[in-house]
A = this chain, B = another copy of it.
Amino acid sequence: MSYNLIPNYDINGLVPAIIQDADTHQVLMLGYMNAESLQKTIDTGQTYFWSRSRKVLWHKGETSGNTQQVTSIYLDCDCDSLLVLVHPSGPACHTGAVSCFFQLMENQ
């Protein structure tokens, strides 16, 4: 599948992708996509990322089974961030938490 909008990839060829639960609207994680992982995400309907630490394409849930089924992808106004709405098969976080954002830093 092709698409008309093209992200503005950064100097490393990456764009940050916010992953949000399509039903609960909880923000689950932030990952990075390169052109290949975005294309795989669109083609398969499941999230793929570029692992900056391991420097490999990474299919979310490939070992844990906690894949994320994509419902829609939005690009922001200056085309340098993605918002990906998903139906998750399980927790997003490797710790077992539903969302990676479980550490409360500040409450006002």
Contact = CB atoms under 8 A, between A and B. Distances in A.
A104 B25 CA distance: 17
Query: Could you say how many copies of this chain the assembly holds?
Result: 2
Task: Bin chain A's interface residue count.
Answer: 35 or more
Contacts of A103: 5, 74-77, 79
A101 to B, nearest CB: 4
A57 interface: no
Interface in A1-25: 1, 3, 5, 16, 18, 20, 25
Given A5-B103, A16-B16, A101-B83, A29 B108 contact: no
Interface of A: 1, 3, 5, 16, 18, 20, 25-27, 29-30, 42, 45, 69-79, 81-83, 93-95, 97, 100-108
